[in-house]
Amino acid sequence: MGRIIAIDGPSGSGKSTAARGVARRLGYHYLDTGAMYRAAAVACLRAGLAADDRAAIVQTCRDLDLDLGADPDDPFVRLAGDDITAAIRQPAVSAWVSAVAVIPEARAELVRRQQAIIARGDFVLEGRDTTTVVAPQAQLRLLLAADPAERLRRRGLELGRAGQTLNQDQLRDQVIRRDRDDSTLVDFQQAAPGVRWLDSTNLTAQAVQDQIIAWAGQADLTAGRAWRPAPDRLFDPSVPDG
Q: Which residues would be at the binding site for ligand DC (CB under 6 A)? A: 11, 33-34, 37-38, 97-98, 101, 127-130, 178, 182, 186
Closer of 3 and 178 to ligand DC (Cβ):
178
Give min distance, CB of 193 to ligand DC, in A.
19
In angstroms, the CA 141 to CA 8 distance is 8
Q: What residue ranges in 58-182 does DSSP mark as E strands?
A: 66-69, 77-79, 82-83, 123-126, 140-145
Picking from 27, 127, 140, 119, the residue whose alpha carbon sits closest to that of residue 73 is: 27
In angstroms, the CA 60 to CA 219 distance is 38
Give min distance, CB of 76 to ligand DC, in A.
15
Give min distance, CB of 229 to ligand DC, in A.
23
Closer of 38 and 154 to ligand DC (Cβ):
38
Give min distance, CB of 37 to ligand DC, in A.
3
Q: 3-state class of 13 per DSSP?
A: coil
How large is the angle between the packed helices 54-63 and 91-101, nearest 10 degrees? 100
Closer of 29 and 178 to ligand DC (Cβ):
178
Closer of 104 and 194 to ligand DC (Cβ):
104
